[in-house]
Amino acid sequence: MSNPYIPYLTRVKSVVAENKVNDIKTIELEFKNEEDYKKFDYIPGQFAEISLIGKGECPIGIASSPTEEGTIKFTIKKMGTVTSGFHSSEIGDIIGVRGPCGNGWPMEDMKGKNIIVIGGGFAYSTLRSLIIYLLDDRYRKDYGDITTIYGNRESGEVLYRDLLEEWEKRDDIKVVLTIDREEEGWTREVGFVAAIVKKVAPSPENAVAIICGPPIMIRTAVAELVELGWKDEQILNSLEMRMKCGIGKCGRCNIGNKFVCTDGPVFSLAELKKMPNEY
Amino acid sequence: MEQKILKKDEIEKLYNELASEYNVYAPVKKKGNISFEKIEKSEDIVLDYLNSKIPPKSVLFPQMEVLFEYTLDEKDVEITDRQDLDQKILILGIRPCDAYSFELFANFFSSHGNWKDEIYLKKKENTTLIGMGCNTPRTTCFCTSVGGNPFNKENMDVFLTDLGDKYLVEGISDKGKEMVKNLSWLSDATDADVKKSSELAKQAEESITATIDSETIVKNLETNFEHPVWREISESCIGCGSCSYLCPTCTCFDVIDETDKYNNRGRRIRIWDTCQSCLYSLETSGHNPRDTKIQRCRNRIMHKFSYYPENYELLGCVGCGRCIAVCPANNDILTILHKVEKIEEKGG
Amino acid sequence: MTIETENKDIENSIRDTAKKLLSEKQVDVILGYSKGTLPLSSTPIIIRKEDDVDKLVWNNLTYINIARYLAPLMPQLCDNEGNPLKIGIVAKGCVGRAVNLLAAEKQINLENVKMIGINCNGNVNRSVIDLEIGEKEILDVLISGDDIIAKGKDWEQIFPYDQYINELCKVCQVKSPSATADTCVGECQELESIHDEFADVAEYDAKSDDEKWEYIKDALEPCTLCYSCRQACPVCYCNLCFVDQNLPVWFGKTTQLPDVIVFHLIRAFHLAGRCVACGACSSVCPVGIDLNKITRKLEEIVKKRFDFTSGLSAETVPPMMDFSMHDAEEFMLEED
Q: What is the pLDDT along chain C (336 residues), one digit of tens a residue?
A: 899 999 999 999 999 999 999 999 999 999 999 999 999 999 999 999 999 999 999 999 999 999 999 988 888 888 888 888 999 999 999 999 999 999 999 999 999 999 999 999 999 999 899 989 988 899 999 999 999 999 998 999 999 999 999 989 999 999 999 887 778 888 888 888 888 888 888 888 899 999 999 999 999 998 988 899 999 999 999 988 898 887 788 888 888 899 999 999 999 999 999 999 999 999 999 888 999 988 999 999 999 888 889 999 888 889 888 877 777 666 666 655
**Residues B118, B246 within the same domain:** no
Calculated CA dihedral for residues B226, B228, B230, B236, nearest 10 degrees: 150
Domain span including residue B287: 214-341
Question: Same domain, yes or no, for B166 and B225?
Answer: no
Crossing angle of helices A193-200 and A215-227, in 10° steps, is 20
CA–CA separation, C101 vs C234, rounded Å?
9
Exposed, middle or buried, C190 (CB in 10 Å: 0-12/13-18/19+)?
A: exposed
Sort B206 into a burial class: Cβ within 10 Å, 0-12 / 13-18 / 19+.
Answer: exposed
Report helix, strand or coil for C264.
helix
- Asked if residue B236 and residue B139 are part of one domain, the reply reads no
* Count of Cβ atoms closer than 10 Å to residue B282 Cβ: 17
Bridge partners, residue A150, by sequence: A119, A177
Domain boundary residue among B156, B180, B207? B207
Residues of B in contact with C284 (CB under 8 A): 238, 240, 242, 328
* List of chain A residues whose C-beta atoms are within 8 Å of the C-beta of residue C246: 80-81
Chain A CB within 8 Å of residue B218 CB? no
Cis-peptide into C39, omega within 30 deg: no
Asked whether the beta carbons of residue B31 and residue C130 sit closer than 8 angstroms, the reply is no
Asked if B78 and B152 sit in the same domain, the reply is yes
Burial class (CB in 10 A: 0-12, 13-18, 19+), A13: middle
Domain co-membership, B105 together with B246: no
- Chain B with chain C: Cβ pairs closer than 8 A: 117
Pairing of strands A235-238, A146-152: unpaired
3-state helix, strand, coil in chain A (%, to 5): 25, 30, 45
B168 close to B3: Cβ distance less than 8 angstroms: yes
Note whether A124 and A160 are within 8 A (CB): yes
Using CA atoms, how far apart are residues C329 and A126, in angstroms rounded to an integer? 60
pLDDT recorded at residue C334: 60
* Cα A278 from Cα A259, distance rounded (Å): 12
Using an 8 Å Cβ cutoff, are C235 and C102 in contact? yes
Contact call for residues A96 and B77 (beta carbons, < 8 A): yes
Last residue of a domain, one of B155, B181, B207: B207
Of B51, B52, B49, B127, give the one whose Cα is nearest residue B87. B127
What does B279-306 look like in DSSP terms, one character per residue? TTT--TTS--TT-SHHHHHHHHHHIIII
Say how far apart CA C98 and CA C177 lie, in whole Å.
9
Q: Which residues of chain A have pLDDT under 70?
A: 1
Asked, for residue B330, whether it belongs to a domain, the answer is yes
State whether A92 and B75 contact (CB < 8 Å).
yes
* Pick among A78, A81, A82, A83 to test the C interface (most C CBs inside 10 A): A81
CA A177 – CA A181 distance, rounded (Å): 12
Residue B347 counted as domain residue: no
The answer to whether residues B104 and B164 belong to one domain is yes
C324: which DSSP letter? -
Looking at CA atoms only, how far is residue A110 from chain B in angstroms?
A: 22
**pLDDT score, position C332:** 67
φ, ψ at C295 (rounded to 5°): -65, -35
Residues 6 or more apart in contact with residue B215 via CB below 8 angstroms? none
Cα of B246 vs its chain's centroid, Å: 8
In angstroms, the first-to-last Cα distance of chain C is 47
Q: Does residue B143 sit in the same domain as residue B223? A: no
Residue B60 and residue B88 in one domain: yes
The torsion angles phi and psi of C4, rounded to 5 degrees, stand at -60, -45
Asked if residue B221 and residue B201 are part of one domain, the reply reads: no
Residue B11 lies in a domain: yes
Q: Please, how many CA atoms are within 13 Å of residue B152, restricted to the half-sphere of its CB?
A: 20
Contacting subunits of A (3+ beta carbon pairs below 8 A): B, C
Residues in chain C whose beta carbon is closer than 8 A to a beta carbon of chain B?
36-38, 41-46, 63-64, 68, 74-76, 127, 130-131, 135-137, 139, 153, 222, 224-228, 230-232, 244, 252-256, 280, 283-284, 286-288
Q: Provide the sign of the torsion angle of the four alpha carbons A58, A61, A65, A68, taken in this order.
A: negative
Q: Is residue B105 within a helix (H) or strand (E), and if so which, with residue range?
A: helix B96-109
Q: Which residues contact C199 (CB under 8 A, 6 or more apart)?
A: C171
CA–CA dist C148, B17 (Å, integer) = 46
Please list, in sequence order, all residues whose beta carbon lies within 8 angstroms of the beta carbon of residue C177, skipping any fewer than 6 positions away.
C91, C92, C93, C95, C96, C97, C99, C100, C115, C117, C184, C187, C188, C189
Q: Which helix (H) or strand (E) holds B79?
A: strand B76-80
Burial C300-329 (b: 16+ CB within 10 A, else e): bebbeebebbbbbbbebbbbbeeeeeeeee
Is B147 inside any structural domain? yes
C-chain residues within 8 Å CB-CB of B242? 226, 228, 284, 286
Q: Estimate to the nearest angstrom the gap between the alpha carbon of A274 and the chain centroid.
A: 24
d(CA A56, CA C237): 28
The model carries a pTM of: 0.90
Cα C213 from Cα B193, distance rounded (Å): 53
Answer yes or no: do B118 and B146 share one domain.
yes
Question: Strand, helix or coil at B36?
Answer: strand
Whether B82 and B185 map to the same domain: the answer is yes
Give the integer Cα–Cα distance in Å for A198 and A190. Answer: 13
Cis amide leading into A100 (omega within 30): yes
Residues with Cβ < 8 Å from C70, sequence gap 6 or more?
A: C77, C87, C89, C99, C102, C107, C108, C113, C234
Set of chain B residues whose Cβ sits within 8 Å of the Cβ of C135: 34, 46, 48-50
Residue-by-residue DSSP string for B193-214: HHHHHHHHHHHHHHH------H
Q: What pLDDT is stored for residue B348 in this prediction? A: 44
Can you list the positions of beta strands (E) in chain A?
Answer: 8-17, 24-31, 47-52, 56-61, 72-77, 94-101, 114-120, 146-152, 174-179, 189-190, 207-212, 235-238, 254-255, 258-259, 266-268
Q: What pLDDT is recorded for position C331? A: 63
User: Which residues in chain C are contacts of B236 at CB distance < 8 A?
Assistant: 43-45, 64
CB within 8 Å: A251 and B275: yes
Of B48, B139, B254, the CB nearest to C135: B48
Which of A242, A239, A212, A252 has its CA nearest to residue A57? A242
The answer to whether residue B108 sits within a structural domain is yes
Give CA–CA dist B166/A100, Å, rounded.
55
Residues B75-90, buried b or exposed e (16+ Cβ, 10 A)?
Answer: eebebeebeebeeebb
**B111: closest chain A residue by CA:** A248
Residue spans of chain B under pLDDT 50: 346-348
Nearest chain A Cα to B312, which residue? A257
ipTM of the predicted structure? 0.88
Q: Torsion-angle region of residue C181: left (phi > 0), alpha (psi -120 to 50) or beta? A: left
Are B196 and B5 in contact by the 8 Å Cβ rule? The answer is no
Residues B34 and B122 in one domain: yes
Structural domains in chain A plus CATH codes: 8-100 (2.40.30.10), 114-238 (3.40.50.80)
Cis peptide before C248 (omega within 30 of 0): yes
Q: Which of B166, B192, B207 is the last residue of a domain?
A: B207
Q: Looking at the 3D structure of chain B, how many domains does it have?
A: 2
In degrees, rounded to 5, the angle at the alpha carbon of residue C181 between the alpha carbons of residues C180 and C183 is 70
